[in-house]
């Protein structure tokens, strides 16, 4: 008799992560030893705590202990919880919902998915706890520092068609940004350049070579010191809008990465990056209806 596949339950808004145990030589002494070896950036004590708290399961749903033997060509599940997270004192807003999509207005400083020092204090986990839907998945990304409209898929059955919509660049995205006003710069204009990883590794830079990024930029208003710009990206490179404005010598207000990296404390929620995903529009691949959404946030000079 075929046993149904074990699907770990969602715990406090957190879905389990799945890790495959490959055939390796020498064979690790235990699953615990393998996980410590495979994820060296996670403290051994933290792995031990996860085992002690019953947060590691085998493929059949049995809770594993720190001395459970390693079984090659199997898989295990584990949950990520952090002992200490800095609370992010801003709330999201649901702009629209149907059976396939959840459209969210994201505040500044809220990371979309669990990463690094954030799990509970992420938009995805907050939404999973709010809705009880463990299948929620962001269809595209916004930086932690950027506010505005972001789309989530509610069910696996239609997720791919929405992801494909972004991959094919069938989504019109409009951003607003506050950056210095420079009288000698003329707008509207188009920035087309090649972007690659910079130094430090989490930044991007403009280099010579084949163009791989493109943005239309218009000036909406200014007060002689600051300008409010409308940005329409045609590609989706990491930090594209921040790098493109910086390449014109008008880095976005409060940008901690460009032109120079300035490290802020994680609990410093002052001076948010003045970049906003203001509008998004697309033809829904399921209903074939034109969908348009706008953030309720406004950037002011």
3-class DSSP state of 34:
helix
CA–CA separation, 100 and 92 (whole Å): 19
pLDDT tens across 8-44, in order? 889 889 989 999 999 999 999 999 999 999 998 888 9
The residues pairing with 216 across neighbouring beta strands, listed in sequence order, are 190, 232
3-class DSSP state of 150:
strand
Domains of the chain: 17-78 (3.10.290), 93-294 (3.30.2350.10)
pLDDT score for 42:
85
Exposed, middle or buried by CB within 10 Å (0-12, 13-18, 19+), for 35? buried
In three-state form (DSSP H/G/I as H, E/B as E, the rest C), the secondary structure along 2-18 is: CCCCCCCCCECCECCEE
pLDDT tens across 278-290, in order? 999 999 999 999 9
- Residues of the chain below pLDDT 50: 1-2
pLDDT score for 149:
98
CA–CA separation, 178 and 221 (whole Å): 10
Contact 288, 301 (CB under 8 A): no
Residues 6+ apart with CB under 8 A from 253: 177, 178, 179, 180, 226, 273, 274
């Amino acid at each position: 008799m075929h046993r149904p596949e074990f699907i770990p339950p969602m715990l406090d808004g957190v879905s389990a992560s799945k890790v495959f145990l490959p055939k390796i030589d020498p064979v690790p002494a235990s699953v615990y030893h393998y996980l410590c070896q495979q994820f060296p950036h996670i403290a051994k004590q933290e792995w031990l705590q996860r085992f002690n708290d019953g947060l590691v399961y085998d493929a059949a749903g049995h809770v594993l202990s720190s001395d459970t033997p390693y079984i090659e060509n199997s898989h295990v599940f584990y949950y990520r919880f952090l002992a200490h997270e800095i609370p992010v004192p801003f709330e999201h807003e649901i702009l629209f919902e149907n059976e396939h999509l959840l459209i969210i207005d994201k505040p500044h400083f809220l990371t979309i998915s669990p990463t690094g020092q954030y799990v509970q204090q992420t938009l995805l986990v907050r939404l999973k706890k709010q809705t009880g839907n463990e299948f929620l998945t962001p269809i595209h990304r916004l930086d932690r520092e950027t506010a505005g409209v972001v789309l989530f898929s509610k069910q696996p059955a239609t997720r791919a068609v929405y992801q494909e919509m972004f991959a094919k660049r069938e989504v019109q995205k409009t951003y607003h940004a506050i950056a210095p006003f420079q009288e000698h710069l003329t707008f509207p204009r188009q920035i087309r350049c090649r972007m690659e990883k910079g130094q430090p590794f989490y930044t991007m830079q403009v280099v010579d070579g084949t163009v791989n990024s493109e943005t239309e930029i218009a000036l909406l208003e200014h007060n002689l010191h600051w300008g409010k710009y409308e940005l329409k990206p045609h590609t989706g490179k990491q930090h594209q809008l921040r790098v493109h404005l910086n390449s014109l010598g008008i880095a976005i207000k409060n940008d901690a990465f460009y032109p120079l990296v300035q490290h802020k404390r994680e609990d410093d929620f002052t001076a948010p990056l003045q970049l906003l995903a203001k509008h998004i529009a697309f033809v829904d691949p399921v209903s074939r209806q034109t969908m348009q959404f706008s953030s309720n946030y406004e950037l002011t000079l």
